[in-house]
Structure 1
Amino acid sequence: MSNAAAGPAGPVGPAEVLRTPAFALFWSATTLRAFGTAIAGVAFQVLIVTVIQATPMQISILSALGVVPYLFLGLIIGALMDRWRRQPTLVLTSVGRAVVLATIPVLLLTDTLTFWSLAVVVLALGVLTLFADSAAQPLLPHLVARRSLVMANARLGQSATVAGTAGPALGGALLTLVGAPVLFLVEAGLIAVSALLQSRIRVTETRAEPRPLGRHLGHDIVEGVRYTYRHRTLRPLALSVHTWFLAHSIVTTLFGVFTLRELGVPEWAFGLILAVGGVGGFLGAVVAPRIGARLGAGRAILLGRTLTVAPWLALALLPLTATTSLALLLPLLAAVQFLYALSQGIEDANEMGYRQAVAPDFLQGRMNSTIRTANRVIFFFGALSAGFLVTLFGYPVALGVAAIVFAVAALVILFSPLHRARHDDDHGVPGASA
């Protein structure tokens, strides 16, 4: 564990996590990167629709390319992160992302931006983002004390929520003022600054254990999968989050179409609804450490999972149509997004903090990549199933199915040893598979 976790005056309490220099640099770099990504997201949509005039099939391909690296490389890169140093990986991937983003203005100014060149850019960014995510999660326990992990994840969640809420509006304004080429240069600059901040992090990472002669990466991957799904509390946590992702893929795929097309909500009102959701996510991340300390990790995650059920069940059961008054629709839909984001804010920080505290360092990368890769696969197929559910049964039934799946995710926690787990349990080291 790095000296940064303790700080100059002894252990750092959860409330003081941003006073830890290493984490402050990590948080600043992550926040800058989140804002840059959110700002440029608007420009990417404009490029796809207006510049290359992509067909619906091409838009689907570009969307899928963002997920493909997780499906095919997630477990491999997770295993590599248990062999490589994570902090240099973060720096190099940020430099790589800045370079890739800087190629877009060049392609625009030389009139060589096509579907295929943009596809290469999207795929390269997806691979680099996968490396960055795979390095960041196992690095965090080296930057703060174990008891501060929930607070650290909450701080990261707060800044990500603010970036996701304010970034698109800021990006739209900048796109109008300076145009897409300058906007992408701005994002490349932000990512470059984040790389500089990451390079200043002082952390001593645990040296990877020597592998037996002839042991290849496949053995490491199998070991990580086996550890995750045999662990007494990580197994139900993983199964619960997989189930949650199935329902999440359905509601995120359908909510926009249901709101805008089926209910006829105007675009300005839809933007306001999503903004209210951002407020809920921020508040959830704010209260997550206190809830985790009071209830324990398992019950805090269970609370988040349980809160998720009610808004989508209400949306499925209420007789809403395009003739329903906007005065009723607006607060109702805003409440759905608020509660949904609030629940995510509560559970995300507690879930990540618990995962990072439980797994030994030499398995962190593989444990996280195992869960993350399965989530992406489930999301991919869940999004496809959403279309079939709506086509066959309509929006209310599809949203009701999602609510039931959310409830199952909560029940997995309730009827498992995880619901009694606390962040300050003595987790020990490997072998907690009893």
Structure 2
Amino acid sequence: MLRPLGLSTHVWFIGSAMVGTVLPALILNDLQLGALGLGLVLGGAGIGAVLGTTWSSGWGERYGTGRVMVAARLAQPAAVVVVVLAPLVAAGQAGGGSIESWPATVWAAFACAVLGQFLFGLAMGAEGPLEMGYWQGVTPDALIARMSATRRSVNRGMIVIGAPLGGALATAFGPVVALGSAAAVMLAAALILAVSPFRAACEADLLDSDAAS
């Protein structure tokens, strides 16, 4: 159960690092929303994350850890696609200057980017507590420290791959292509979970692990 979860998370970190690298370029350079616009867009993810974390436990108990995590990881590439639509909604126009001077199409593009980030944060918040709880719940106590250190080290190593890759794609083909590629990587990460036994993971697995120990 942990093998597909670990592999999916490693791949996810590549896509996430790509998004983190390219999103500021899209907001600041392409849409020209300025530092305030970027802050508000990123704030949308924060609001979503708080709500997702709040509801995570209830969703996990009702639908099962595996189902919620698969749904959340499928939702994240879709959220990135919503952000990718922002330049299309802007119709070639850009912000620049103060927020009050933005044309209607730029406001619509801004709303699109905020919505995409909100959905992204909501999905991340929903899966985060469930993933951490599952990892720790099924791992023997004596191995938790080793498991956590190894998993986190590999996850951070994926950022070393994803961040330069996102920057290279954005430089060569533009932020839209780079973000679309990041969404494809995240979709692959979600499918790894969706086709694995982990999709049936539930709280009973944690109870069985406690009984065995």
Between the aligned partners of 2:42 and 2:176, the Cα distance in structure 1 is: 20
What's the offset of the Cα at 1:317?
A: 5.1
Structure with more helix by fraction = 2
Q: Give the fraction of aligned pairs with identical amino acids, expressed as a percent.
A: 35
* Uncovered stretches (5+) of structure 2, i.e. residues with no partner: 95-104
| Cα distance in 1 for residues equivalent to 2:31 and 2:154 | 33
Do residues 371 (structure 1) and 151 (structure 2) align?
yes
Asked if the contact 1:262–1:321 (Cα under 8 Å) also holds between the matched residues in 2, the reply is no
Distance 2:208 2:169 in 1: 42
Which residue, out of 273, 286, 292, partners 2:54? 286
Higher relative contact order (CA closer than 8 Å, sequence separation 6+): 2
Higher Rg of the two aligned structures: 1
Say which of 119, 138, 148 aligns to 1:358. 138
- Of 255, 258, 278, 2:23 maps to 255
1:411 aligns with 2:191: yes
| CA shift digits 1:230-269 (9 cap, x unpaired) | xxx0000000101110000000111112101121113222
CA RMSD, aligned part only?
1.7
Deviation at 1:321, TM superposition (A): 5.9
Check the 8 A contact 2:44/2:114 in 1, yes or no: yes
- Asked whether the equivalents of residues 277 and 339 of structure 1 are also in contact (C-alpha less than 8 Å), the reply is yes
Give the whole-Å Cα distance in 1 for the aligned partners of 2:124 and 2:31.
Answer: 25
Q: Which residue of 1 aligns with 2:99?
A: none
In structure 1, how many angstroms separate the alpha carbons of the residues matched to 2:168 and 2:119? 26
**CA separation in 2, counterparts of 1:420 and 1:351?**
13
Q: TM-score, normalised by structure 2?
A: 0.87
Residue 8 (structure 2) pairs with residue 240 (structure 1): yes
Q: Give the match's secondary structure for 2:209.
A: coil
Aligned to 1:337: 117
Residue 378 of structure 1 aligns with an amino acid whose one-letter code is M
* Paired residue secondary structure (1:428): helix
In structure 2, the residue matched to 1:384 is: 164
**Counterpart secondary structure, 1:424:** helix
Letter in 2 for 1:391: T
Out of 323, 336, 342, the residue aligned to residue 93 of structure 2 is 323
Maintained 8 Å contact 1:292/1:350 = yes
Contact 1:357–1:427 under 8 Å retained in 2: no
Distance in 1 separating the partners of 2:79 and 2:195 = 23
Partner residue, 1:349: 129
Query: How many Å apart are 1:419 and its aligned residue?
Result: 0.4
Q: Output the CA distance in 1 between the equivalents of 2:115 and 2:8.
A: 24
1:203-227: per-residue Cα shift (whole Å, max 9, x none)? xxxxxxxxxxxxxxxxxxxxxxxxx
Distance (whole Å) between structure 1 residues aligned to residue 137 and residue 74 of structure 2:
23
Q: Is the 8 A contact 2:82 2:115 kept in 1?
A: no
Aligned residue among 292, 297, 319 for 2:65: 297
Indicate the residue corresponding to 2:180 in structure 1. Answer: 400
- Which structure 1 segments of 5+ residues have no match? 1-232
Aligned length: 198
